Chain A
């Protein structure tokens, strides 16, 4: 049964430089509640622009030239993201949709403890909470992502890359959003840490029921974590299907080319194309 969380229709973004660059062109997709949607493609294909665009996080010279993005809130209300004013947008972001940025583990403030940075989220978005409540929430978040509350007073440089990335996931989880956008969340980490974090995202998704847009160029990883995968090229989605369909029966020639960029880990020597 279809239970959409986000409906994107004919969405286009142009970088208004000379000559203008069509970064995203006529993208239409429906993200289901609780779904992990993978977004794959080579550098410059528009995957990050699309993910930023649906949250209106783009800056000039990027211009949204057309299309609608409608968020179907759990309360039953439909929110047209393009129509929100600045204040409403501010309230909407992080509360309904949060983001784990590329290289996020380096985005923490180096001169502030991670506990205090987590509490900041509540100070801004939950002004009714008192100090004790904020602290309790921040401690709970660190427990959820298995960093542990004893790290509340640690500074970012005292944590490993994997732990810092978990802190960023905790921050994205703080307000229990319905959608989390993750842009290359594990790219800088080694395989063992990556596996731990992927497992955790998957568990949290089942526990809290949020949807995920997961951006990466690591197609083998995406095939394992995603329910469905959208393949982007030159600003367009050229193929959108379940991970298993993409794996077993890729329809587009380019999807096969992308798959064949990866050597096979097991099985006969060769690349990942069938």
Chain B
């Protein structure tokens, strides 16, 4: 079992004209393999800063990030091992795949770099990954990203994230750029993979409804602080913090709408 712990993490930036801004303020939580945490909050609440620190693109101003109780190495093999353990699925599947390369290339790279399987088995491993994300390997393996639909591309991005056999996955708004009719399909795929591979997932979103649906716990972030943390149903159905209540009231909810007013605004 893998655990990743944020312990009192603070991150501040110098902003011209505004002095020092705390993007994260004393944030603590633990991501464990086999569980999904939903991270919600409005634009500018610090969600992406958490993702950047997790992926070591930023370092905390103070506080610690620990993988299985150990600090994360800043460079070298240790950092590489950490990155093999924790992978990222980005928001925009149009921008996160290289238009110049085939799908095969996108998946072969991490397999080779992390020497996941013997070299002769690379092709089989690529096909196994494509099958894991329910893509027809023969139909897509030699195509380039622009030849695939948005949903197919995001599945490729998920396959790439799984290629190094990580135990933790950070998914930053993984479906917000996709058409509504396929969003649920991609989220369900992520949930299935999470269960089958025992992944720990940090699902970053501002959509409370899908956060509730696909998370075990939800963490609400406001101005860099964790204002509420609890099981998904508790946080959404019985929010304690005023900010969480505000977020919930702002989210479209036809059930409540038609129950209370019986008509349009």
Q: Give chain B residues whose Cβ lies under 8 Å from the Cβ of A217.
A: 179-180
A161 vs B206: C-alpha distance in the bound complex, in angstroms? 16
Closest to A272 in B: B254
> B247–A224 contact, CB under 8 A?
no
Q: Could you tell me the distance in whole angstroms from the C-beta of A270 to the nearest C-beta in chain B?
A: 9
Q: Which residues of A contact B (CB under 8 A)?
A: 36, 42-43, 161, 189-195, 198-199, 202, 217-221, 223-227, 243-244, 247-248, 257-258, 260-267, 269, 271-272
- Residues on the A chain within 8 Å of B264, using CB: 36, 224-227, 243
Chain A residues whose CB sits within 8 angstroms of the CB of B138 once the complex forms? none
Interface contact A192-B247, CB-CB below 8 Å:
yes
Q: A189 CA to B206 CA in the complex, in Å?
A: 10
Q: Which of B206, B209, B248, B250 contacts A263 (CB 8 A)?
A: B209
Q: Which residues of B contact A269 (CB under 8 A)?
A: 212-213, 233
Q: Known A42-B180, A191-B42, A258-B181; judge A264-B265 contact (CB<8 A).
A: no
Of the candidates B43, B183, B208, B263, the one having the most CB atoms from chain A within 10 angstroms of its own CB is B43
CB closest chain-B residue, reference A269 = B213
* Binding site secondary structure of chain B: helix
Q: Is the CB of A263 within 8 A of B184?
A: yes
Complex formed: what's the CA distance from A260 to B254 in Å? Answer: 13
Question: Cβ of B253 < 8 Å from any Cβ of A?
Answer: yes
Q: How far is the CB of A222 from chain B (nearest CB, A)?
A: 8
Provide the bound-state CA to CA distance between A43 and B180, in Å.
Answer: 8
Kindly identify which residue among B181, B184, B236, B265 contacts A266, using a CB–CB cutoff of 8 Å: B236
Whole-angstrom distance between the Cβ of B39 and the nearest chain A Cβ? 14
A247 with B254: CB separation less than 8 A: yes
Q: Binary interface profile of B, 202-229, with partner A (CB < 8 Å = 1, else 0)?
A: 0000111110110000000000000000
Q: A192-B247, A261-B181, A265-B253 are in contact. List 6 more A-B contacts (CB 8 A).
A: A192-B246, A217-B180, A224-B252, A258-B181, A265-B252, A265-B255
Q: How far is the CB of B175 from chain A (nearest CB, A)?
A: 11
In the bound complex, residues from chain A placing their C-beta under 8 Å from that of B213 are: 263, 269
> Which residue of A224, A247, A257, A262 contacts B265 across the interface (Cβ within 8 Å)?
A224
Residues in A whose Cβ lies below 8 Å from that of B265? 198-199, 202, 224-225
Q: Give chain A nearest CB distance to B196 CB in angstroms.
A: 21
Are B255 and A271 neighbours in the complex by a CB distance under 8 Å? no
Chain A residues near B251 (CB-CB < 8 A): 191, 265
Residue of B nearest to A260 (CB): B184
| Cα(A263)–Cα(B179), bound, Å | 15
B100: Cβ under 8 A from any A Cβ: no
> Complex Cα distance A188/B104, Å?
32
Give 1 or 0 for each of B173-202: 1 = CB within 8 Å of chain A CB. 000000111011000000000000000000
Docked complex Cα distance between A199 and B265 (Å): 8
* Smallest Cβ-Cβ distance to A220: which chain B residue: B252
Q: Is there an interface contact between B208 and A265, defined as CB atoms closer than 8 Å?
A: yes
**Contacting residues, chain B, for A221 (C-beta < 8 A):** 252
B257 contacts A by Cβ under 8 Å: yes
Nearest B residue to A263, CB-CB? B213
A42 to B252, Cβ gap below 8 A?
A: no
Closest Cβ of chain B to A42, distance in Å, is 4
Question: Which residues on A sit within 8 Å (CB–CB) of B263?
Answer: 243-244
